[in-house]
C-alpha cells in the first residue's frame, strides 16, 4: 500500500526488512539505526510501522482471511517518541502529507496526537520530557514502539516503555517491534535533568560497543518465571552516503564543513566517541592514535600506572616508551570490588605472562594514585605496602596539577604534524576502555583549560599519571630489573624538562602516518 507514496533508500529497505521476533527464534526484538546524520533515518522510522497498517487494512478487506476484522476493530497501535514534543513537529507534518495518501479515511485527533486509520489502527506521537513520563504509557498495549534520537532518552524510560510492547491479537503478536534511530551526539551532561547514576553513553554501550561494525544480532538469554527467553537486538549503521539524493549529500557535507571537529566526527563520520564539550574531541583521531598490538623491542622503556577504585572501577595501564620517547599504551586492566592484594595478584599474573616478572617481584614500577599510601587503621598497612608484599612496587603519581597533566597528554596527541609523523602517544586496539572513555571526557565548565574531574574518568586519570611520569624522558623512567639480584626499580629523575619532540617512527605501526 505505501509503496506508491514512499520509496526507501537501500539502507532504509534493510531496516524495514528486519523481522520481528518469531516463534522459531528468528527476528530482532530491538533494532537501532544510527550513525552519521543525513541518510534519512527519521523518515524510515516514521514509515516502519506501516507494514502493520497494511496488514490490518488487508484483514478488514479480506473476509476470507483466517483472522478477518471488521473496520475499526484493529488493536494495532504504534507509538512514535521524541524526548520533547516540539521535536515531533517535522514527523507529524510528514505524516499529515503521507498518511491520507495511504488511507483517505485516516483521522487525526489533535488532543491525543494520534492518527486513526480506517481499520482502527492507531499511530500515536508521544514524548518523555520528564524522567518519569514513561508512566504516561504504563497501561497501554503497543504493537510498535519507535524512538527518534534515542540518545536523548534515559535508559529507565526506554526499559519501562518497552514493557508495553504486547498484544493478544494472534496476527500482530508476530509483528511486535521496538525500533530506534539516533545520531552519536549524546545529550549534554545535565540536559533533561538526567536521573541519578544514569549513563549518558547507555545507547552506545547497549547497541554499538558489542559490535562496532554492526549488522550482527546480539543474543541474551534470560530466565523469566521459569522460562528461558531469548532477547535479541541489532545495530544497523547508517552513513550520509546511504542517502540516494546527491544534492542533499553535497549540501549536508558543506553544512558540516565548518563545524567543530567533534560535531563533524559524530554527524559526518558516525563516530560514537566524539561528544559535545569533549576536552580531547578535536585531537583524538582513531586512525592516528590507535594501532594493532605489536611486539615491544627490548630497548624500549616499560612502566605502568594505576588509578585506584573499589566501589567504582579502578584501572592499571601498561606503557612502553620507544627510543624517541613516544608512548604506547599496550594493555589495560579494569577492576572493581577487589582489595589491594587481589589487584596486585592480577597484575602479577599479567606481568608473568608478559615476561615482566623476575623471581618473586615485578621487573617494572610506575606511578599510582596517592590513595595507595593512605594509612588505614584496620590493618596498619597501606595499599602500597600490601601490593609490595605481592611483588608489585609503585611510586606516588604526580597529582599537583590536573590541568598540567592534561596538557602533557594533549601535547602528545597533537604531535603528529598533521598525520605526517608518529604521534607522542598511541593506544593498542585492545585498550578498549581507554578508547571508549577518553574521547568523551568533557571540559570543566568552570575551566575550559582543564578536563572535568569525576564520572567515567578512571582510565583517563591513569593516562595522565603515565604522561606525567614520562614527562622527564627515558632517563626518568626506572630501569627494568633483568635478574633477581637487581635492586627494586626506583625512579631516577633526570632533571630535564618535558619530553623531546618526536621523530616519525613506524616500528610495527604500519606506514599510514
Q: In this predicted model, what pLDDT tens digit does every residue of 68-83 receive, in sequence order? A: 999 999 999 999 999 9
Q: Which of 331, 21, 291 is nearest to 179 (CA)?
A: 21
Task: Collect all residues with Cβ–Cβ distance below 8 Å to 27 and sequence separation of at least 6.
Answer: 18, 19, 20, 21, 232
Q: Does the structure show a pLDDT above 90 at 445?
A: no
User: For the chain, what percent of residues have pLDDT higher than 70?
Assistant: 84
Contact 161, 145 (CB under 8 A): yes
Cα atoms found within 13 Å of the Cα of residue 162, Cβ hemisphere only: 18
456/453 Cα distance (integer angstroms):
9
Pick the CATH number of 287-476 from 3.40.710.10, 3.40.50.300, 3.30.420.280, 3.90.1150.10: 3.30.420.280
Residue boundaries of the structural domains of the chain: 2-242, 287-476
Give the tens place of pLDDT for each residue, 367-396: 999 999 987 655 678 999 999 999 999 999
Kindly state the average pLDDT of the residues 251-262.
Answer: 64
Average confidence score pLDDT of the chain:
86
Instruction: Name the pLDDT band for 261 (thresholds 50, 70, 90).
Output: low
Task: Collect all residues with Cβ–Cβ distance below 8 Å to 387 and sequence separation of at least 6.
Answer: 340, 341, 343, 344, 347, 372, 393, 394
| Per-residue pLDDT, 504 | 31
Pick the CATH number of 2-242 from 3.40.50, 3.30.70, 1.10.3470, 1.20.140: 3.40.50
- The sheet with strand 367-368 has its strands ordered as 290-291, 425-428, 327-335, 314-321, 301-307, 367-368, 395-396
Q: Does the structure show a pLDDT above 80 at 14?
A: yes
Q: Does the structure show a pLDDT above 50 at 190?
A: no
| Per-residue pLDDT, 269 | 64
| Per-residue pLDDT, 511 | 24
Q: Does the structure show a pLDDT above 50 at 501?
A: no
344/391 Cα distance (integer angstroms):
8
Q: Does the structure show a pLDDT above 90 at 250?
A: no
| Per-residue pLDDT, 37 | 67
| Burial zone of 490 (CB within 10 Å; 0-12 exposed, 13-18 middle, 19+ buried) | exposed
Q: Which of 230-244, 417-431, 473-487, 498-512 has the lowest mean pLDDT?
A: 498-512
Give the tens place of pLDDT for each residue, 28-41: 999 999 877 677 89
The more confidently predicted of residues 14 and 285 is 14
Amino acid at each position: 500500500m505505501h509503496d506508491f507514496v514512499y520509496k526507501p533508500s537501500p539502507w532504509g529497505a534493510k531496516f524495514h526488512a528486519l523481522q520481528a521476533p518469531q516463534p522459531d527464534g528468528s527476528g530482532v526484538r530491538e533494532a537501532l539505526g544510527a550513525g552519521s546524520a543525513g541518510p534519512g533515518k527519521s523518515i524510515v522510522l516514521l514509515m516502519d510501522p506501516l507494514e502493520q497498517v497494511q496488514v490490518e487494512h488487508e484483514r478488514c478487506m479480506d473476509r476470507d482471511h483466517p483472522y478477518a476484522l471488521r473496520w475499526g476493530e484493529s488493536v494495532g497501535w504504534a507509538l512514535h517518541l521524541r524526548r520533547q514534543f516540539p521535536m515531533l513537529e517535522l514527523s507529524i507534518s510528514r505524516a499529515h502529507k503521507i498518511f491520507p495518501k495511504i488511507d483517505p479515511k485516516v483521522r487525526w485527533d489533535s488532543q491525543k496526537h494520534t492518527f486513526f486509520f480506517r481499520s482502527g489502527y492507531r499511530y500515536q506521537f508521544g514524548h518523555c520530557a520528564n524522567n518519569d513520563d514513561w508512566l504516561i504509557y504504563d497501561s497501554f498495549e503497543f504493537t510498535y514502539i519507535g524512538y527518534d534520537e534515542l540518545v536523548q532518552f534515559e535508559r529507565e524510560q526506554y526499559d519501562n516503555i518497552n514493557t508495553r510492547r504486547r498484544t493478544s491479537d494472534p496476527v500482530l503478536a508476530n509483528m511486535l517491534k521496538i525500533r530506534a534511530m539516533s545520531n552519536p551526539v549524546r545529550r549534554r551532561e545535565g540536559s533533561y535533568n538526567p536521573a541519578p547514576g544514569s549513563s549518558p553513553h547507555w545507547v552506545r554501550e547497549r547497541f554499538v560497543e558489542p559490535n562496532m561494525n554492526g549488522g550482527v544480532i546480539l543474543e541474551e538469554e534470560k530466565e523469566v518465571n521459569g522460562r528461558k527467553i531469548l532477547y535479541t537486538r541489532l545495530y544497523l549503521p547508517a552513513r550520509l552516503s546511504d542517502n540516494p539524493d546527491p544534492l542533499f549529500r553535497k549540501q549536508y557535507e558543506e553544512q558540516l564543513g565548518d563545524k567543530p571537529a567533534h560535531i563533524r566526527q559524530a554527524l559526518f563520520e558516525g563516530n560514537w566517541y566524539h561528544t559535545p564539550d569533549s576536552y580531547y574531541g578535536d585531537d583524538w583521531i582513531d586512525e592516528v592514535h590507535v594501532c594493532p598490538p605489536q611486539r615491544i623491542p627490548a630497548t624500549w622503556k616499560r612502566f605502568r600506572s594505576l588509578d585506584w577504585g573499589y566501589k567504582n572501577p579502578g584501572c592499571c595501564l601498561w606503557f612502553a616508551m620507544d627510543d624517541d620517547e613516544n608512548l604506547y599504551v599496550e594493555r589495560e586492566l579494569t577492576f572493581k570490588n577487589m582489595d589491594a592484594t587481589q589487584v596486585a595478584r592480577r597484575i602479577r599474573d599479567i606481568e608473568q605472562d608478559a615476561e615482566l616478572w623476575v623471581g618473586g617481584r615485578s621487573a617494572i614500577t610506575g606511578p599510582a594514585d596517592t590513595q595507595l599510601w593512605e594509612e588505614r587503621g584496620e590493618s596498619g598497612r597501606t595499599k602500597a605496602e600490601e601490593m609490595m608484599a605481592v611483588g608489585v612496587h609503585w611510586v606516588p603519581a604526580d597529582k599537583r596539577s590536573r590541568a598540567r597533566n592534561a596538557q602533557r597528554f594533549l601535547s602528545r596527541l597533537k604531535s603528529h604534524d598533521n598525520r605526517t609523523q608518529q604521534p607522542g602517544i598511541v593506544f593498542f586496539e585492545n585498550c578498549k576502555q581507554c578508547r571508549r572513555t577518553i574521547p568523551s571526557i568533557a571540559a570543566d565548565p568552570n575551566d575550559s583549560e582543564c578536563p572535568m574531574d569525576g564520572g567515567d574518568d578512571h582510565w583517563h586519570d591513569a593516562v595522565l599519571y603515565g604522561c606525567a611520569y614520562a614527562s622527564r624522558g627515558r632517563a626518568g623512567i626506572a630501569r627494568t630489573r633483568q635478574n633477581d639480584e637487581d635492586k627494586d626499580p626506583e625512579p631516577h629523575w633526570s632533571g630535564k624538562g618535558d619530553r623531546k619532540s618526536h621523530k616519525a617512527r613506524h616500528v610495527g605501526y604500519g606506514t599510514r602516518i
